[in-house]
Chains A and B, each alone.
Chain A
């Protein structure tokens, strides 16, 4: 069965607006930047998908790589002047779903999905290591009167940078007296990447399982570490009922404002990278900036491409694991850290664990470790509180 993109996708004119940032200062489609063949641009990808759906070209590993190398960053949606622009990413996901159903996907994507299916995380790590970072942090139980469930997610649970973030978010919540708990080894993948790689069945399974768990525990409010989890829960799950979902930057911004948290002077120039799933997907541009600007002595220098115009780190829709955009000086994460460095900032601030991993790695590859630090917003805030 072809998904419903098949009778619409020919509407793409291959005009290429979607390659750009607005005002056309740069190319802004990560996969086009990486490969530069027209086939890797949004339009090229849509035309190839259409050709495949008509049987005009055969499936190949290369075709699958092209289809899965889209980071689902939504830049094209932002820039395409046509009336169907909102559907573009869904069309690509539709094609992925067809490929998934037929078992025609790149090996690395297959492994990614398999692991999530079997272990609840994309690396096939043991479940019981999920809360290895979380010493001293409470489990969310139905009995305790916790305000929030802190949903950590896979990157937060297993990757070094994610764990750092998770710790500092927890630290902040504790310091400011917010009650919360985590799911620990009971936590499952949030499914966002599963959905965006086209495994709609597995996504539904994960979503249902998670919803059930939240309801069993009588969860009222969820804080997510990752914008990806925030996106899936907020926009894709359905059935969460009264449960409210927040990204941690929203909660932070609220707490800092209303509790008059005192912050110390950090005296530093920083720049901020908008993650796609916070920015373009959910229009959360201000809360992170409010937090950053609220810290005394922090000067925020924006990159040329920010907000709706942000350049994706290349980690979207599973690419932070299978990284079809990697291994080149044109890899989006490397382009992005060069851009960050050019602002003259000493510190690159992120608010997504996937971006954190991608960009920290890129800073190393680019040999910029001495010149550009990277931190998550929560780490910066904690630093400013601890300095007090």
Chain B
């Protein structure tokens, strides 16, 4: 082990290599509720070459290696279940290129969503990316690796649908470019080549370490506003979503339900964000959306909520820190959520299951859903705050999480960014040939099974 430490300090400046208890402890866990496991080393490389050398070393020594971004996916995807080397990528956070005409950006894998937002605001105020509501210390790549969703997902799909290129260090140490960037100096598109990006998206780092990424940027309008449509009956939600997406007038559509504070009790909110370059544009879009929902207004079953300016401000914030504040609801420093991707018409069923589960376990909840594409699917989160200092509460929440995964699959959804037990449940249900294909791909890319072991793994 000492020799591996030595080798690591030859690759990366010694300051950025640690095998001390404190770093091992911190990198043994994420803020979710999966069992921690300590790595043997933590390293923070600065360049692709350093990453490459680290991977080669791990591959030669057959020790596990786990790429880490912001560690905020909450489902233990960065926990080194079998020890080994944790590679914290956040020293690699440079923006390498912004192409304003072809609207794409190339950047390093450790760039945080917060810094990218600030960078674009400062240097390219007419461009934006699909920022998720994760804390700003989440990395853009980490978010994309797990098929995250953000503010532009209703318009343009999963954030992973916006990738235009990558540079990847393969588990065997080769550095490989994906997309147009492999042929041309321009990282504008994955097409028309065979789509190799799929070998790394949704794989949780088990097939290689992404070191650079190309990503689509989108027009940024000057003004933003929000309307929140409230209903009591979950059965109405899919229709509301249908009608609003039909207008093609909104930036982002989310759902929210929570029993506390009282003003949100017993209602389901459908947040509809609007953008415009002028007041007129904004008003036009607003009017279209109001008109689209007139039938629910006429029946008195739904209506646009009255909001104080501070509530509005909260909802317009990017990322919305109120999502993060959910962790303090129980004054317990944590929340866990299962956010299956479901067909939109399954909202009512998912909602019913959510209420059943929280009732069964006597826990509180927050639902936050996000429409993906023009109602092509949605993320439906069953979110449960828990108290880190209360083992009994943790146990109950864990059981609720288990039931939630079961329910998600039951209703025909697929758990998003599943923790290892949920991955197993998915794989059990998965078409056998598909599973076989997945395992074969993994084996080909990572013959020694060093990459984030435990994930997408059949025993």
Contacts and interface: CB of A to CB of B under 8 A. Distances in A.
Does a CB–CB distance below 8 Å link A and B in the complex?
A: yes
A83 B15 CA distance: 35
A36 B112 CA distance: 13
Nearest to A83: B328
B26 A48 contact: yes
A81 B23 contact: no
B114 A57 contact: no
B324 A17 contact: yes
Interface in A292-347: 328
Interface in A25-58: 25-26, 35-39, 44, 47-48, 51, 56-58
Q: Is chain B's binding surface mostly helix, strand, loop or mixed?
A: mixed
Contacts, number: 110
B72 interface: yes
Contacts of B25: 39, 47-48, 51, 56-57
A60 B21 contact: yes
B42 interface: yes
A63 interface: yes
Contacts of B44: 36-37
Nearest to B22: A39
Given A10-B333, A10-B389, A82-B325, A38 B72 contact: no
Nearest to B70: A16
Nearest to B119: A25
A256 interface: no
B398 interface: no
A13 B91 contact: no
A20 B114 contact: yes
A82 B334 CA distance: 12
Contact of A39 (B23, B115, B118, B327): B23
B122 A19 contact: no
Contact of B136 (A20, A62, A63): A20
A330 to B, nearest CB: 8
User: A39, A56, A58, A66: which has the most chain B beta carbons within 10 Å?
Assistant: A39
A81 B321 contact: yes
A13 B334 contact: yes
Contacts of A7: 389
Contacts of B88: 36-38
30 contacts: A10-B332, A10-B388, A11-B388, A13-B31, A13-B335, A15-B137, A16-B70, A16-B135, A16-B137, A17-B136, A17-B321, A20-B137, A24-B114, A24-B115, A24-B117, A24-B136, A25-B118, A25-B122, A35-B15, A36-B16, A37-B44, A39-B26, A56-B25, A57-B21, A57-B25, A62-B21, A66-B22, A81-B322, A81-B325, A82-B328
Contacts of A39: 22-23, 25-26
A83 B333 CA distance: 11
Contacts of A47: 25-26
A12 interface: yes
A213 interface: no
Interface string B166-201: 000000000000000000000000000000000000
Contact of A25 (B31, B72, B115, B137): B115
A11 B30 CA distance: 14
A267 interface: no
A36 B118 contact: no
B22 A11 contact: no
Contacts of A328: 15
Given A57-B21, A81-B321, A19 B42 contact: no
Given A11-B332, A17-B135, 20 more contacts: A10-B387, A11-B328, A13-B324, A13-B327, A14-B31, A15-B72, A15-B135, A15-B324, A15-B327, A16-B135, A17-B321, A20-B114, A25-B122, A36-B91, A48-B26, A56-B25, A58-B21, A60-B20, A81-B322, A84-B328
Contacts of B143: none
User: B26, B112, B331: which has the most chain A beta carbons within 10 Å?
Assistant: B26
A259 interface: no
Contacts of A36: 16, 44, 88, 90-91
Contacts of B118: 23-26
B52 interface: no
Interface string B63-86: 000000011100000000000000
Contacts of A24: 112, 114-115, 117-118, 136
Contacts of B23: 37-39
